[in-house]
Amino acid sequence: MDSVDTEVLKSAVAWLEGGHKATLATVVRTWGSAPRPVGAMLVIRNDGHVVGSVSGGCVEDDLIERVKAHQMTGGAPEVVTYGVTAEQAARFGLPCGGTLQLVLEPVRQESQLKELLEIIGRHELVARTLEMKTGAVKLESGRWSDVLEFDGAVLKSIHGPRWRLLIIGAGQTSRFLAQFAQALDYQVTVCDPREEYADEWNVPGVNLIRSYPDDAVLELNSDPHLAVVAVTHDPKLDDAALTEALKSPSFYVGALGSRKNNEKRRQRLAEFDLSADEIARLHGPVGLKIGSKTPAEIAIAIIAEMTAVRRGVKLDSIGVVAPVAAAATSDPFACSS
């Protein structure tokens, strides 16, 4: 499964190469409860075909009509804002008075979208700058600390490695975990050297590797967009992966098992070349504490905790969401009554 942004960029390139005119829209600012986050994109073909979303359907129809009406065939990019007034918010159905500001950019060869896709395909982080006055584009190496920036004159957007998940073990919980992760746009890899499990793996779109788990972690070139979750219940396999993952920049490392078993696991890991701080990164028992029992429920709990960590939500020592007001308001999809 391609990420939404990658689908947008691929469609823009395909339409341009097919002789169509198109406009790329990027969310650059939001106020209040915005239905889509900053950086969300869509592309609109001159005949109204659209890929992607910037508002969950609230303003797309107006954008399509805008593009069909004046085409934006080669002029400079422009800024449009939706939801400034109560009347406009009601007209476009923006939730709770949310406001969106978008940059609309004519897609041209000079947009360098094909080159951008090539860099993304190499799993490299890249910053794309767009000059609003001229439409000139520059691509350069990005940094993990980079975020989308827009000052009215220049739009800097960040593109690069999609979120990835490495699952150690090809059992039933792994099947649900892989499917839920795919729905959240993760690129999923499953590692299991055990023939009896690997031979039965059949989840479409998931890469299966049969190497030993520590080798799998190294082969994936861990970065801050990678999560590693060990679910085999076999210490030889799980611990091997965790030993390498906890030393890596992976944003999330988790292991299935009871609290007692995970305490024993931490004691074993301390015998290897892991520091106390590295061992403290382990989420084990893995997943938010939601009373999960079945494989599907366990997978939901794991995905929920991964999402909380990605979003910077504070968790207490046993994996329960702490009552932090800032965390409750940071979700761009949240809508307060």
- Looking at the structure, do residues 174 and 31 belong to the same domain, yes or no? no
How many degrees, rounded to 5, is the angle at CA 170 between CA 164 and CA 176? Answer: 65
- Looking at the structure, do residues 227 and 299 belong to the same domain, yes or no? yes
**Mean pLDDT throughout 286-293?**
93
Q: Residues 4-37: pLDDT tens digits?
A: 788 999 999 999 999 999 999 999 998 766 567 8
Structure tokens at 243: 């030993």
Residue 47 domain flag:
yes
- Looking at the structure, do residues 276 and 169 belong to the same domain, yes or no? yes
Mean residue pLDDT of the chain comes to: 86
Q: Rounded to a whole number, what is the distance in angstroms from the first to the last CA of the chain?
A: 35
Distance, in Å, from the CA atom of 205 to the CA atom of 210, rounded to the nearest integer, reads 16
Q: What is the pLDDT of residue 327?
A: 35
Residue 275 domain flag:
yes
- Looking at the structure, do residues 8 and 132 belong to the same domain, yes or no? yes
Q: Residues 244-278: pLDDT tens digits?
A: 999 999 999 999 999 999 999 999 999 988 999 99
Specify whether the backbone of 147 is left (phi greater than 0), alpha (psi in -120 to 50) or beta: beta
- Structural domain that includes position 39: 4-159
Q: How confident is the model at residue 336 (pLDDT cuts 50, 70, 90)?
A: very low
Q: What is the pLDDT of residue 172?
A: 95
**Mean pLDDT throughout 102-115?**
95
- Looking at the structure, do residues 212 and 229 belong to the same domain, yes or no? yes
Residue 326 domain flag:
no
Residue 334 domain flag:
no
Distance, in Å, from the CA atom of 229 to the CA atom of 173, rounded to the nearest integer, reads 11
- What letter would DSSP give residue 109? G
Q: Residues 202-240: pLDDT tens digits?
A: 999 899 999 999 999 999 988 888 999 999 999 999 999
Tally of domains in the chain: 2
Q: Residues 89-100: pLDDT tens digits?
A: 566 665 555 688
Residue 178 three-state SS: helix
